[in-house]
Structure 1
């Protein structure tokens, strides 16, 4: 504790790092690791990635002058040390909590956060734009993009590298090579970086040769030119292939990413260069915490855990089956029945539940890396060969494949099934990870079917249905536990129709919900029932296609139709239904309950649902008010907390 008070507590601003000795900086790194581990063990968060860049972050802030010099963190899930060094240590205990520090960089949180990030492969593009803008305004500040080798599997990073080489601005790209993205890296890039890592002897030779040349007495430009030619010749022999050099970058590395003094020396040299440079740094994900070092994938994103014992598995029967688990079981069963069924992940094999499928069918599982656009078109190619690919992609990341979905899948009516995990509200990660836009984004695309299960049985039925369809399908479901399904949910799927759950005679209200909100809709109906008001439930099942005649008939049957969806209101299913009711001159009034326009900050899913008024009481209260206002009923739901 005394070391903490004497080192970390003294850091109020990155400039304070320049006052410390290297031995103090090494102690600081140890203290930061301890604080990150203890905080994440309570709050959850990204652990392995943050532990791997502690020394690198210290060195960056010692050499460069933030916030004048701007550091852009690709993905941003490795920024915890950066936050601790930029005046946020006292608030670090609020990390990822509602109203607390975000788990990613946020410009609204600190001037040291130069650009909001949360998705991969964006840093070089953003950094290059910031640097070009800085030079256009006559400024001389530097811009640094820190990108992991996993994020380099995304095509946008290569587009930015190509443009940076063309502009020849002094952009600094730190390549954090830890042989990991979330799981083990895949593809040719990982092998290429391994080859670069083996060529560290060239950098060693270069440093020694430069030092020797500097000690020689000056004997004119002829000798200098000869030195340059000799260095180039040596580089040609020992270093014959370097993608970054071919693009116009200077290449430095590989450098041990856990040696603060060496990193500082290299970065000080790099800062003087007047051309783009890639600094290749080798780090160990999870460094300093044994559990994370030995299993960095499991400790990438974690909930609370025991620091001394690590992540403990819940006893059998204690943890409720999640929608992800249900999908994992369903695709495994489908794969056993049909050899045409394939699994595709964009670097999220574990998060999407595809690892059991990979284990049983390794030749039928493909991980594209962090390249969602490619994953979508790759799946289209497989489908064009008569196969049945299932691409499991988080809703927030599916946004990165919209053009490919339209152009390569739906236009050709190819039978690709998209399993959209984390649809709706997503706990803890904040604005960049909410899955609220998929309904509005994808409902307008021709030829695409969109389904929303209410539980395990429906998810399995929907996957099986999708795998028999001649065109593309999308199944959206939340990151949450599956509820106990009513018997009615076992009814076979009927295209365009949902399942009606009557709750009493004389119901004048119908609560229509997307599957993920079954529990909340049921709670709302029970609240209303306590006030003597009966409300039937209608599980929509299909968000597209819709049997419009059937839905219009329901709108005429009830006095009030309430459309409740875990998605953005603008462009959502409720607005479509309202337009349908208007065009068919339906008699029933319509109320839409959904997420309002705006980006949703961090919090637990239940809390986010409460904020949006989509919890049981919130729904019941809104229905009560609307019913009274529309129909003049002399009642309103009593106030409850």
Structure 2
């Protein structure tokens, strides 16, 4: 039996020797590589926190002591040590183990929000509640140096440091990277420390000093802190934390379990907020990850466990590839184009633009709010910024988009990658809110291209608009083959059927759901229902030509992979109401619920967005088998299981 097989709960770690802990670390790394190679997932971050997580669970008493992992993508080791080892073959699979902390999985998971820079705010609130209840608990927040580029983290630090008696230990997992190398002044400051030739000497001195000294409480803290040795004047990353009044311990070798344990124990005993600075290596122990220049296997699909080579995925270019290549082409024609990313240069495809135009590319770190207002400033200065961001992360910067960009009528293009149902990454990574939020922004233009040709055309048009924000959204799925139009009616593409004379049903498909809309049309046609399928391409503002087409049909249905509440279908129905048109509109979209992880196809099927379900519901309504639908009926219908 392996040593790992004897670890079912954190308490099982307490009696292990140093040699056993080292062996356990090796077994955990082999376990991670074996299972993630078969399921895909966040490998690099978890290989880097093996010793750190073991030390955390030996010093703190989870779940009594809440542990909050920032973003949570580095929580796999935590899951392994808290009774979920046997479920790892189901990682990121439907009804299987989540790729992030999950409160429904384990009492050891306190927070499951998967967006960065939020852990310290959770920790601040939890610690204040503990203090008010006078409980004997310590809150531990594990945050990466990348997440420290987010302003929310510093807002929390400002409050935590001001409360001298808060039982909080902040562990900064410093590996110099978020998805890709961390950027900005904070990153530069920490990098200076990591690369200083005196760093190893400092680590050795701290290690030997703490080992020799039988001190406890604040005396041990001061020794570890380096105050009496003058180390803070030699290597001073703590300076930026000391200015806030934050106690600092470090730097600590994050792959030395003993050193990390000693630092954490002293921080726990201090009696107030302490920041422990731990240096780790992303992808440690797996050469394929360590040597991966792009992101050190931050997140990977299935790969060969032995060689590390990624297994063949979908063939052909991705939406991200098409966007990245087209932006470079446009950038060569227009030197006003600039690119902005929030620490996601490679995931959003902007690395190509950065390689071609490094001086016109700006990585602002995990700071979406700042990115948008900085884009506003660039636009004011005569540039046309293109901000590439995952659709779900745009939620964080909605206020800036509304008031800093749109209210000033500025030409900024937002390109939303991973829009719609993204699937395996879980509830907070689905991009299903953007088309509900954006219709309320005055003057905004939004396109949902159905294929690569429409994406290129829409991007070209978007970057030519200099007096309003423009938005392009596309899915995580593979780019489908081009879907040609039979004709175009004032900007509305007719994909099937005919507009020469009225048909029974007009089916409006948006973006990634156009193939589904076409499949619905075919099913209805097979049942003797005359159906016309159209794609408005530019969903906002609503094209008057689309309203004219819709008014001549018996029924209009809209299909989108966005929230059904307030989405583009709802916006079209509102236009009908405003104009007093009698044609009923039936909207199909994502119900107002947080969707469990699973493949995109599985989720769409479960929420009633398969072609079969939509065609059946449409046919029932046409044949009068269903009473007139209320808004509540629509939502309940969306949530029922597929037949």
TM-score (norm 2): 0.91
Residue 603 of structure 2 corresponds to residue 608 of structure 1: yes
- With over 3 angstroms needed to count, the CA separation of the structure-2 counterparts of 1:22 and 1:415, relative to structure 1, is same
Correspondence 1:327-406 to 2 at 5 A: 327-406=323-402
Query: Residue 114 of structure 2: which of 114, 118, 121 is its match?
Result: 118
Offset, 1:194: 2.3
Residue equivalent to 2:302? 304
Q: Is the 8 A contact 1:508 1:535 kept in 2?
A: yes
Residue equivalent to 1:546? 542
Offset, 1:214: 6.0
Residue equivalent to 2:70? 74
Q: Is the 8 A contact 2:390 2:416 kept in 1?
A: yes
Q: Is the 8 A contact 1:249 1:275 kept in 2?
A: no
Deviations 1:243-295 (A, max 9, x none): 11221122111111111122122222221111211111111100111100111
Q: Is the 8 A contact 1:515 1:540 kept in 2?
A: no
- With over 3 angstroms needed to count, the CA separation of the structure-2 counterparts of 1:134 and 1:510, relative to structure 1, is same
Q: Is the 8 A contact 2:46 2:74 kept in 1?
A: yes
Q: Is the 8 A contact 1:50 1:286 kept in 2?
A: yes
Offset, 1:507: 2.5
Correspondence 1:184-583 to 2 at 5 A: 184-197=181-194, 198=196, 200=199, 201=201, 205=205, 231-232=227-228, 234-235=230-231, 237-239=233-235, 242-295=239-292, 297=295, 299-312=297-310, 314=312, 319-470=315-466, 471-488=468-485, 497-503=491-497, 507-548=503-544, 550-583=545-578
Query: Residue 584 of structure 1: which of 572, 575, 579 is its match?
Result: 579
Offset, 1:232: 4.5
Correspondence 1:116-195 to 2 at 5 A: 116-168=112-164, 169-195=166-192
- With over 3 angstroms needed to count, the CA separation of the structure-2 counterparts of 1:35 and 1:188, relative to structure 1, is same
1:213 and 1:33 map into 2 onto residues whose CA distance is 33
Offset, 1:582: 2.4
Residue equivalent to 1:637? none
Instruction: Give me the CA root mean square deviation.
Output: 2.5
Q: Is the 8 A contact 2:405 2:412 kept in 1?
A: yes
Deviations 1:317-359 (A, max 9, x none): x713222122112211111111111111111111111111111
Q: Is the 8 A contact 1:50 1:78 kept in 2?
A: yes
Residue 29 of structure 2 corresponds to residue 33 of structure 1: yes
Deviations 1:94-140 (A, max 9, x none): 11101011100111211100111311001111111111111111101
- With over 3 angstroms needed to count, the CA separation of the structure-2 counterparts of 1:154 and 1:203, relative to structure 1, is same
1:214 and 1:109 map into 2 onto residues whose CA distance is 40
2:246 and 2:202 map into 1 onto residues whose CA distance is 16
Q: Is the 8 A contact 2:449 2:474 kept in 1?
A: yes
Q: Is the 8 A contact 1:589 1:630 kept in 2?
A: no
Query: Matched residue of 1:119: which SS?
Result: coil
Deviations 1:67-107 (A, max 9, x none): 00111100100000100100111112111101011100111
TM-score (norm 1): 0.91
Q: Is the 8 A contact 1:203 1:252 kept in 2?
A: no
1:134 and 1:86 map into 2 onto residues whose CA distance is 23
Q: Is the 8 A contact 2:150 2:367 kept in 1?
A: yes
2:181 and 2:485 map into 1 onto residues whose CA distance is 42
Unaligned runs of 5+ in 1: 216-222, 633-639
- Count of residue correspondences: 616
1:421 and 1:260 map into 2 onto residues whose CA distance is 39
Residue equivalent to 1:624? 619
Residue equivalent to 1:593? 588
Deviations 1:589-641 (A, max 9, x none): 21110111111111111222212222222221221122222799xxxxxxx98
Offset, 1:236: 5.8
Deviations 1:428-476 (A, max 9, x none): 1000100000011111011211111111111111111111112210111
- With over 3 angstroms needed to count, the CA separation of the structure-2 counterparts of 1:348 and 1:228, relative to structure 1, is closer
Deviates more, 1:575-584 or 1:554-563: 575-584
1:266 and 1:230 map into 2 onto residues whose CA distance is 12
Query: Matched residue of 2:339: which SS?
Result: strand
- With over 3 angstroms needed to count, the CA separation of the structure-2 counterparts of 1:380 and 1:94, relative to structure 1, is same
Deviates more, 1:479-488 or 1:73-82: 479-488
1:295 and 1:209 map into 2 onto residues whose CA distance is 37
Residue equivalent to 1:104? 100
1:230 and 1:111 map into 2 onto residues whose CA distance is 37
1:507 and 1:556 map into 2 onto residues whose CA distance is 11
Q: Is the 8 A contact 2:38 2:302 kept in 1?
A: yes
Offset, 1:578: 1.7
Residue equivalent to 1:54? 50
1:213 and 1:506 map into 2 onto residues whose CA distance is 88
- With over 3 angstroms needed to count, the CA separation of the structure-2 counterparts of 1:202 and 1:501, relative to structure 1, is closer
Q: Is the 8 A contact 2:486 2:495 kept in 1?
A: no
Query: Matched residue of 1:629: which SS?
Result: coil
- With over 3 angstroms needed to count, the CA separation of the structure-2 counterparts of 1:328 and 1:490, relative to structure 1, is farther
- With over 3 angstroms needed to count, the CA separation of the structure-2 counterparts of 1:368 and 1:229, relative to structure 1, is closer
Unaligned runs of 5+ in 2: 628-641
Deviates more, 1:522-531 or 1:509-518: 522-531
Residue 21 of structure 2 corresponds to residue 20 of structure 1: no
2:257 and 2:225 map into 1 onto residues whose CA distance is 32
Q: Is the 8 A contact 2:451 2:482 kept in 1?
A: yes
